[in-house]
Chain A
Amino acid sequence: MKLYCLSSDAAKPCFVLSFKELLIMLDCGLSAHSVLNFLPLPPVPSTRLASLPNYTPPHVNDPLLEGELKECCGRVFVDSVPEFCPPLDKVVDFSQLDVILISNYTCMMALPFITEDTGFKGQVYATEPTLQIGRFYLEELSEWVSGSGGGAGAAKRWKELVHLLPPPLASALRPRAWRRLFSPAALARALSRVRVVGYDERVDIYGALDATAVSSGFCLGSANWVLRSAHEKVAYVSGSSTLTTHPRPINQAALRGADLLVLAALTQTPAHNPDHMLGDLCVHATVTLRAAGSVLCPVYPSGVLYDLLECLSAHLEGAGLAHVPLYVVSPVADSSLAYSNILAEWVSVGKQARVYLPEEPFPHAALVRAGRLKHARSLHDDAFSADFRQPCVVFCGHPSLRFGAAVHLVELWANNPAHAIIFTEPDFPHAEALAPFQPLSMKAFHCPIDTSLNYSQANKLVRELRPRELALPEQYAAAAGGGGGGARPHIGADVPTVVVRRGAARSLGVRRRAARATLCGSLAARASPRELRAGLRAAPLTAALRVRDARLELVSPAACGAPGADPAPAPVLHWSALDVEALVRALAREGVSEARVEAGADGCIVHLPRHDTLLHVERHATHVFCEGRADVRQALRRALAACLPHI
């Protein structure tokens, strides 16, 4: 068993596990940090962004670099369609992948990079909410990146000159591996490959393994995967939460006692408690709204958004601000809000109880009906523009502030100190996200809400699950050498731990010794095992092996019915040392007499002169030089059998 790591971003993991001649990809996260190096793509043309000065590194005169780099707020940005960092494609041949298992919708964004135009022929499995919400995320991303002009071609030249550029661009990780987003057609093809599974559904992987998605408690439909064969068990824990939020709680029992536990996608903001952050957010929002300012929350179209809507609407109502409208602006806002309310089987028990009444599990349907919550495809929807009132709270993407409606709103509100922007998504550092919009007069708050496991929760989980081996991305392991940056939070467990980093392939300790088969009743009945010692019986067995869908069946060789030579007789096993005196007596009983015994160096020699036969008897072997007739040999065999324990 081997584990390959293809992603450098531990929160957007991508592993490949090779096991039982299968290549299994675990998640395919797309790292979007790279987009922070690009200029924002405003949905509405912005004169400020359009009139930025070109940047040329000192002492470089490269005409190809012309217009690729712009200077903005004292930093250099690439003026191009933003690019993303997909999983490494050189280590594993994607056409050889047998199956991709997706744990949740934040870890599947690179799917088209892996399945399209790579010769991929395998299966992709995800839960229904993962597929649907993942589709919302991907479609939103695709619409924003491709929809906002795209007039600027792909800048390439700067990648050759990275070393000459000022930081942070100079320290960009492997910009040559960055890729532009897939086309909507490729996206649709990739999503159409996904097969939907339910929690606790056993998916048969080519007869070799059972894969089961079990609830991970992180978001709607989020799953940890358990791979199981008759003797081995691998648990992949990615994006899990032990907190109580809207999704079904984590199923820990299913992860226990694994031979290997792969841990990924822990919290990205271990220093922030999500509950406190949610409280802070409500307070900041209330204060801003009271002062007649508006609040902008750059968010993804699902996930924590549901909790934000639920908490903030209740909080505002308590603060006497129930009249403040809440807007969700996204190409998929309507679908996302509607869809969340039909996922009764995927939500927490409390929310599920509401469905039995029957009421919607989330309160946002009621907020929409009451007119407090409105959603629009984009900012320039006529209905939305006509309806837009300030002060208000706007939820829109993208959290990187490089594309989507949020770009326009920040541009619009940046100079007004009454307004506020509150960052909740943990994927991007907020200072960097805001870099191209400086100087900023509007207030900026950082309240990251990441419900994924933090280090102490993860350590506790590992202790409880008791895996035989643990595999971690290097970010989660203790710092090498023990010194360095001091006590960085890390995962420490008293089990063998394998640390993987991007591009690495590590062998794991799981060793296979046996495979599970079924033995047919008639064959079992015919074998009559002899008791060798208490609780242990054995019998020689010759069986026909039938392999169907990689499942093994042992049937009676005769029942197999194929013509051909008869099977060789079942092996007979003798053991322990031979008692020569007993042998001589047994030989006499068989009518083979006149045995002469001579002691040798490491055993003895039994000579049967009448039958022209010599027996070399050693501790673990007897060699018979038999020049006599066949019946003598048979007599010898019987005599030996009588003297040695055998089956």
Chain B
Amino acid sequence: MPEIKITPLGAGQDVGRSCILLSMGGKNIMLDCGMHMGYNDERRFPDFSYIVPEGPITSQIDCVIISHFHLDHCGALPYMSEMVGYTGPIYMTHPTKAIAPILLEDMRKVAVERKGESNFFTSQMIKDCIKKVTAVTLHQSVMVDNELEIKAYYAGHVLGAAMFWIRVGSQSVVYTGDYNMTPDRHLGAAWIDKCRPDLLISESTYATTIRDSKRCRERDFLKKVHECVEKGGKVLIPVFALGRAQELCILLETYWERMNLKYPVYFALGLTEKANNYYKMFITWTNQKIRKTFVQRNMFDFKHIKPFDKSYIDNPGAMVVFATPGMLHAGLSLNIFKKWAPYEQNMLIMPGFCVQGTVGHKILNGAKKIEFENRQVVEVKMAVEYMSFSAHADAKGIMQLIQYCEPKNVLLVHGEAQKMEFLKDKIEKEFKISCYMPANGETAIINTPTKIPIDVSLRLLKAEAVRYNAQPPDPKRRRVVHGVLCVKDNRLSFLDIDEMCDEIGINRHIIRFTSTVRFDDAGSAIKTAEKLKTLLAEKLQGWSITISDGNISVESVLIKVEGEDDNTKSIYVSWTNQDEDLGSYILGLLQSMVQ
């Protein structure tokens, strides 16, 4: 039985550092190549030595597929292509290809320039790596080589996020990356057709959440911001330039418009304006509503949100500021934080994850005093809120996706083990299919049915169709085809006997048997034949029996009656060698009828 083997190098019963090895039909595919934001040592990157302890990695991997631009899905890509030395094909969608290098560069700066790490990839390496990427569009079927085909589906999680369907021969796998089954403020819902893969590899971040409470979180966020600015406080929201930032901007923009608020909202200049431009260019990847209205008003042309200038830090009165970077480890967001932290009326909202060692991480852990390099100590009196806005499918969404694409097996990654266990049970009970959840470094093996492509002769099929259609319709009736299986140059065909003879240039030798039964019966031969036909029809129900000119045929067995009137008749029964069973049965039947 052919197998599909899956080994997560990351994201096996874990979130972060997504990297899954898939091998089927002699092809090895790497799904995502992420880094772990929680580690600073070699655990940050997937363990590529698992693939091949030494030597070139390119010959071991047929292609790398990146599902979206989040660093836990693409962060290790420059490391793999420029430092480990992978030179094979890399696939991602156009928006991912446009945005990923910006995030990688951001991350690199943090790691190298702030934390002083060495042995990290350089800016040039990021550029070189992205140059090697092949961009794909949705639903485009890409032939990686003669046997390996991939196709992207919309996943909704972030701009340009995609699920990938991968096929080798008759085996197919769908890898979801991160996805979201409910449309949000700027993106649509994930969609896939009924592609019936052998295996669905699904993320399971919210495996136990039955209803995504995103709306509540949004309301909560808006309420807190509103309360704070109403009291004259300043709200600082550290963000990374892309992704969450745009969603929060849309959120605030629409709220400000609806509530007719006049408090200034600022967005730190530089990258962010450029980032909004990406969203404008790739508006076809956003949701229906934004796409429909973009001619009149581009959602990413913000009316209420203005560019920020450093001098505004000391402005009096309420304001909301989005500033980079998102983990408060450096730059503008840190500067603003230092100024605003000591005042109670102010507020800090952290909309995403913070790596250990950053100021953001300390504050989220409740630190009330932060000491900086130059011995400067900042007291944190401002309110601190953590809010997660990531868009993942909940348990209902995951079940929905399974229903959509009807996989034969499911494998869960990108989630916590306990939650996965719960979902695994649910999937196995509800869909009666096997579900796997390998840990990092563990291999799951899935057996798939053998299916061999074969060319069936149309003559054979047409003959069968004529027989089938002649009978009263019955969807349960099985359709049987007889013929010759022919193997030539490793290609299979299923032929009619005559075609087969033509094909290989042989002369068929037909063997026919004829036996005689003597029968005393008055009347003409034709009458006797009709009598026989009635008798046979009683005995052989379900068989096609026809009569013409005194010749009876039961399927392909011929019966002929001869003899003068009022005399003994000779009944000839004749059949070909392959009809021996039926022929001898009818012969026996006639013989017993005569006695």
Binding site for B on A (CB under 8 A): 128, 197-202, 212, 230-231, 334-335, 338-339, 341-345, 352, 355-356, 358-361, 512-522, 524, 527, 529, 532-533, 535-547, 552-554, 557, 560, 562, 564-565, 567-578, 619-627, 630, 633, 637, 640, 644, 647
Contact = CB atoms under 8 A, between A and B. Distances in A.
Contact of A358 (B98, B284, B295, B516): B98
Contacts of A554: 454, 456, 481, 494
Interface string B137-165: 11111100000000100000000000000
Given A355-B98, A361-B281, A520-B449, 19 more contacts: A201-B151, A342-B284, A344-B94, A352-B94, A518-B453, A519-B451, A519-B454, A521-B450, A532-B506, A544-B478, A552-B456, A557-B478, A567-B480, A573-B484, A573-B500, A626-B513, A626-B514, A630-B587, A637-B577
Nearest to B506: A575
Contact of B138 (A198, A519, A524, A557): A198
Contacts of B514: 623-626
Contacts of B259: none
A541 B483 contact: yes
Nearest to B515: A626
27 contacts: A198-B139, A202-B141, A334-B295, A335-B295, A339-B295, A345-B284, A355-B281, A519-B492, A520-B452, A521-B452, A522-B450, A524-B450, A529-B487, A538-B487, A541-B482, A542-B482, A544-B478, A553-B451, A554-B454, A564-B478, A569-B580, A571-B578, A574-B509, A574-B510, A575-B507, A576-B506, A624-B512
A519 B450 CA distance: 8
B81 to A, nearest CB: 18
B277 to A, nearest CB: 4
B450 A540 contact: no
Given A342-B283, A545-B464, A626-B515, A527 B485 contact: yes
A615 to B, nearest CB: 9
A397 B138 CA distance: 34
A520 B485 CA distance: 13
B381 interface: no
Contacts of B98: 355-356, 358
B466 interface: no
Contacts of B277: 358-359
A296 B486 CA distance: 70
B536 to A, nearest CB: 15
A339 B457 CA distance: 50
A513 B513 CA distance: 33
Nearest to A359: B277
Contact of A545 (B476, B481, B512, B543): B481
Contacts of A621: 509-512
Contacts of B516: 625, 627
A576 B454 contact: no
A573 B582 CA distance: 17
Nearest to B517: A627
A568 B482 contact: yes
Contacts of A199: 137, 140
B343 interface: no
Interface of B: 1, 94, 97-98, 137-142, 151, 170, 274, 277-278, 280-284, 294-295, 449-458, 461, 464, 476-489, 492-494, 497, 500-501, 504, 506-516, 542-543, 555, 577-582, 584, 587-588
Ranked 10 nearest A-B pairs via Cβ: A521-B450, A201-B139, A514-B455, A541-B485, A545-B479, A575-B506, A518-B451, A562-B478, A537-B487, A200-B140
A627 B581 CA distance: 17
Nearest to B1: A521
Contacts of A522: 450
A212 B458 CA distance: 25
B171 to A, nearest CB: 12
A352 B95 CA distance: 11
Among B451, B452, B455, B480, find the residue whose CB has the most chain A CB atoms closer than 10 A: B480
Contacts of B504: 532-533, 536, 538
B454 A517 contact: yes
Contacts of B284: 128, 342-345
Given A202-B141, A358-B274, A541 B484 contact: yes
Nearest to B193: A204
Nearest to A640: B511
Contacts of A543: 480-481, 494
A345 B141 CA distance: 15
Contacts of B137: 198-200, 345
